[in-house]
Structure 1
Amino acid sequence: MNAPTAHPAVALVDDFVAAPHAERDTRFRDLVDALWSDGRATDAALPAVPALVRALADSGEERQGHLAILLGLLAESEYPDLDGPLATAVSSHLDLYLGLVRTSGAGRPLVLALVYLLAHFPHRRADILAAVSGLGLDAEDLSRLDRGVSLLDPEAPDLGRVWPSPSVWTLNEDERAFDRSWIKALTPQQLVANWDNDTRTVHGCAGARAYWAVCNGDPVNLPAADVPEDRAGQAVPAANGLFAPHEAALRCPTCTGRLDTGDDTARRTARCTGCGARYPVAGGILDLTTVVGADEATDAGADFLEKLSRVPSMGLFYEAVARPAFLRVSGSNWGGAVTPDDEDRYIADHIRPVDGPVLDLGAGAGRWTAVVADTVGADRLIALDSALPMLNVLRGRLPEVPSVLAGAAGLPFADASLGAVVCWNALQAFYNDAAAAIAEVARCLRPGGTFTLMTFRRSDDPVYGYFQRAHRFPQHQGGLQLFDADDLRTWLADAGLTVVEDSGPGTFVFLNAVRA
């Protein structure tokens, strides 16, 4: 009678545990590949759970963090089913995980990995929160865990305020009323879908932070950026003649005719000299997403001015909280390898405009628009973004810079009219239109003008890449999409742009290109 043969995955567990430090990551990749792929468990995963749990109990801390991450990935592979066979098998050893987290105060990466694992078991919510209560977790880590072990209450759903962690959101009564209004309008199916997306985002952020930590050491949080002043209810800055110096470059998105901004403060519209279309102008923002008739021009401009005075200041939160967190997740920047000063220097060192206006494409709330303005002069600069709340904040901090509300796939500028373009931490926001946007940049640039770009690439590590994609944002409902660096280079070359600098640590992409 033959002796029973151990499951092949058990040998991979043993190989990982016994591997010297230099081979640790390679052996872990082998183990992951055998049990899990892009969010789905393989047939070998369920039989391997007992061996993974034994190794977690018996290994040293250098291996335990990786094993906790893998067990969390296996439990998560069945989400939103919380009672599937894998989730049940992994959760049946919860007392072991709780014991480890209580005694692992000295090993922060291991604690983060265990917190990520524990966040998948809401049926033991009280026990889990009690076990971590004395660990001194950061407020953001604790609030992500708290949200992970919560279940949807259809009678009082709390949705949409989880990124980068629930703890960073402080809402006034108007904001709470706004949340209640849009949540109330959701169907039961939409409630569940939003809850599940929020949960995946929480797991993605917690997992990215924990996995980076077990591979590299303690994460470093960069200081938060200064929060611009909230301009809600304040007068919109005057903008008399702000667009006049750039009229030669501006074009109508309807017919590509030349735009006459005239005395935009008085007229409150810009008129196309070709088709006659009119577009609202107020507070230094030209809205090229809205066409109004000639008889509506004055009212439309006044309505736009009123809209600006009431637009929410999401840009404030973006600047101080969301953007730094996005860099950590998308750029694998948990160690602070790229600082805001590094970004400032890259822009200042590489933007080399020829004659013509300089465009800040996807300008957001203006943090890096200010750097471009310092580099080339505010009088040469135009900011463009598709989000009015962002431009509203930008105009408050940079009243000398005119702003255009428009998309990136069809830039409202003449051929060979711009001296330089900067697109900083924005290309991924219009991922599906990225190739078209790059072609548009090339069309609008004058020969010799520079295109200075910072965005992110997908991680080569399948586990970290999964955590990147797990994030559900408004423009990435199916998961965060980042680029293949070769695709970016191909799109640049096809557009007639020559890359002269290409760098970036982690999963950052820093590129500087020149129009041939």
Structure 2
Amino acid sequence: MNAATAHATDALVDAFVDAAPERAAHHYRLLVETVWDDGEPTASALDAVPALVAALDRTGRERRGHLVILLGLLAESEHPTPAGPVTRAVRAHLDRYLRLLRTDGIGVPLTLALFYLLSHFPADRDEILAAASGREPDPADLSRLDRALSELDPHRPRLGRVWPSPSAWTLNEDERAFDESWVKALSPQQLLTAWDNDTRTVLGCTGARAYWAVCHGDPSDAPAAAVPDRARATAPAAGPELFAAHTGALRCPVCDKELEAGEGRLTCTGCAAAYPVAGGILDLTAPAGEETGVDDFLEKLSQVPSMGLFYEAVARPSFLRVAGSNWGGDVTPADEDRYIAEHVAPVEGPVVDLAAGAGRWTAVVAEAVGADRLLAVDSSLPMLNVLRGRLPDVPAVLAGASDLPFADDSVGAVVCWNALQAFYDETPAAIAEVGRILRPGGTFTVMTFRRSEDPVYRHFQTAHRFPQHEGGLRLFEPEDLKRWLTGAGLTVREESGPGTFVFLTAVKDA
């Protein structure tokens, strides 16, 4: 970089440090865009590092937090290479960051920003953890820092179980065995990929929490939730009779004909494909053969780990904080309940809770429309297992979202709550399917998330890695959702949501 460009970068740092409060965000955005672009360092990045570090000594702690976050972004921009030139330049000032961390009275936002920055230097793990522990941090924050500074042990890999923090997980013997079984099946390259995905998820949560804090103040942390006893993850016994009220709407995913109840299964009236039912869950993912029917499905249910319990109690609230920018608690579970109660307005026909998960909001839908009208649909057996334990009167269907097993114009309403982003690539097809199965006048009620307009926060949103998904979390542009809804014959009746939440209700056109 030439002297003129270096001078221009220094001037941007000065402009941010000296900006009036109402102009600080603008000047910070200009500074970020000059040295960092969507996760990548720009040509100005390397020579900007000394100016950023020097500015730490002449600004207040609020803007120090912003500078520290930017230094962390630059260190992360060469991930997973730990010794790239930009990362080395940022790490060269480690002593300065540690002195700042040890300073009394720096406050929670700057402490969190320093945790994010220091998470990128595993070679200095012991020194960093010693300094961090001296601040008596929240155990979740410290465990994320500890994991970010860890290196993969190929002989005893600790994979998964990092979201929302390693400290949130307590495993019983069955769950440890489950982990060991899938980890052993990974190739060396798959181990590396899984480890890197975990690391990016940890950095994304650490960064999102820290950046929100330096912009808005101390996060409003909800009390730690206890995971219910694993025994509650058992679906109660129930057979095909639970689906009797809904067979008129259900269709065979092979030939699209009606289904009728049989012994432990539903059978297609057209192609004779048989689908097992166990614990009140109908498996429409594949027809049952003569040798793999209900008994096989019951065995599969008995082996399901209790991820659904953990998701409901711990993982979901944390996901809303990252995806919805909800670190201040602007959206509460009561707010979600209220929206469903006010906006789900079914016409004649069953109500489908699409991607119902572990059933917390299925219960709210059941309260609003009646459990006798409700069908829960999800592609995850662990989630449906928990849902059935919670809602023994609600039948559940194991099926995907992009090819819904219902007849045209047969459903009175569809709810899809905190789920569209989990099958981002299938969302246009899923919305088209909702339009197909809804009766005219029926509602489609959604809660999902949009991409942040702030490129820094958007980077932290994207860092979240879903299990079994390539790449990071992808969120929506509201315009895309509206276009897909219009194409499906649905008209948006209401749209709202603070932060990066999207609450939306659409109605099937007459």
TM-score, normalised on structure 1?
A: 0.95
Question: In the alignment, what sits opposite 2:463?
Answer: 470
- How many Å separate the matches in 2 of 1:157 and 1:49? 34
Give the counterpart letter for 1:44 in structure 2: S
| Structure 1: tracts of 5 or more residues without a match | none
Q: Give the 3 Å change call, closer, same or farther, for CA 391–200 of structure 1 in structure 2.
A: same
Give the counterpart letter for 1:348 in structure 2: A
Question: In the alignment, what sits opposite 1:22?
Answer: 22
For the 8 Å contact 2:175–2:305, the answer to whether it is kept is: no
**1:380-424 CA distance string (max 9 Å, x none):** 000000000000000001000000000000110011100100000
Question: In the alignment, what sits opposite 2:74?
Answer: 74
Question: In the alignment, what sits opposite 1:230?
Answer: 230
For the 8 Å contact 2:233–2:308, the answer to whether it is kept is: no
1:258 equivalent in alignment to 2:258: yes
Structure 2 counterpart SS, 1:56? helix
Structure 1 counterpart SS, 2:353? strand
Structure 2 counterpart SS, 1:231? helix
Q: Give the 3 Å change call, closer, same or farther, for CA 445–224 of structure 1 in structure 2.
A: farther
Offset of 1:236 from its aligned partner?
3.4
Question: In the alignment, what sits opposite 2:63?
Answer: 63
Equivalences for residues 24-423 of structure 1 within 5 A: 24-223=24-223, 227-231=227-231, 236-239=236-239, 241-262=241-262, 267-293=263-289, 295-296=290-291, 300-423=293-416
- How many Å separate the matches in 1 of 2:220 and 2:470? 28
1:10 equivalent in alignment to 2:6: no
For the 8 Å contact 1:428–1:481, the answer to whether it is kept is: yes
Structure 1 counterpart SS, 2:231? coil
Structure 2 counterpart SS, 1:177? helix
Offset of 1:231 from its aligned partner?
3.2
**1:362-388 CA distance string (max 9 Å, x none):** 000000000000000000000000000
TM-score, normalised on structure 2?
A: 0.97
Of 482, 503, 506, the residue aligned with 1:513 is 506
**1:43-102 CA distance string (max 9 Å, x none):** 001011100000012211121000000000001001111111111110010011001111
- How many Å separate the matches in 2 of 1:401 and 1:4? 68
Q: Give the 3 Å change call, closer, same or farther, for CA 376–129 of structure 1 in structure 2.
A: same
Further displaced range: 174-183 or 196-205: 174-183
Give the counterpart letter for 1:163 in structure 2: W
Aligned residue pairs total: 507
Question: In the alignment, what sits opposite 1:433?
Answer: 426
Offset of 1:473 from its aligned partner?
1.5
Structure 1 counterpart SS, 2:242? coil
- How many Å separate the matches in 2 of 1:227 and 1:371? 20
- How many Å separate the matches in 2 of 1:372 and 1:30? 45
**1:1-35 CA distance string (max 9 Å, x none):** xx988531111000000001111111100000000
For the 8 Å contact 2:64–2:110, the answer to whether it is kept is: yes
- How many Å separate the matches in 1 of 2:104 and 2:96? 12
1:484 equivalent in alignment to 2:477: yes
Of 483, 490, 507, the residue aligned with 1:497 is 490
Give the counterpart letter for 2:115 in structure 1: V
Q: Give the 3 Å change call, closer, same or farther, for CA 339–224 of structure 1 in structure 2.
A: farther
For the 8 Å contact 1:228–1:393, the answer to whether it is kept is: no
For the 8 Å contact 2:233–2:306, the answer to whether it is kept is: no
For the 8 Å contact 2:230–2:309, the answer to whether it is kept is: yes
- How many Å separate the matches in 2 of 1:127 and 1:322? 30
- How many Å separate the matches in 2 of 1:506 and 1:235? 36
- How many Å separate the matches in 2 of 1:110 and 1:192? 32
- How many Å separate the matches in 2 of 1:247 and 1:187? 44
Further displaced range: 472-481 or 248-257: 472-481
Counting aligned pairs with the same residue, the percent is 68
Q: Which runs of 4+ in 1 moved over 4 A?
A: 3-6, 224-229, 232-235
Q: Give the 3 Å change call, closer, same or farther, for CA 240–185 of structure 1 in structure 2.
A: closer
For the 8 Å contact 2:61–2:106, the answer to whether it is kept is: no
For the 8 Å contact 1:237–1:396, the answer to whether it is kept is: no
Further displaced range: 477-486 or 222-231: 222-231
Q: Give the 3 Å change call, closer, same or farther, for CA 92–273 of structure 1 in structure 2.
A: same
**1:129-162 CA distance string (max 9 Å, x none):** 1111121211110001111111222222211121
For the 8 Å contact 1:356–1:380, the answer to whether it is kept is: yes
Further displaced range: 271-280 or 228-237: 228-237
Offset of 1:110 from its aligned partner?
0.5
- How many Å separate the matches in 2 of 1:95 and 1:52? 15
Offset of 1:234 from its aligned partner?
5.5
For the 8 Å contact 1:429–1:475, the answer to whether it is kept is: no
Further displaced range: 145-154 or 321-330: 145-154
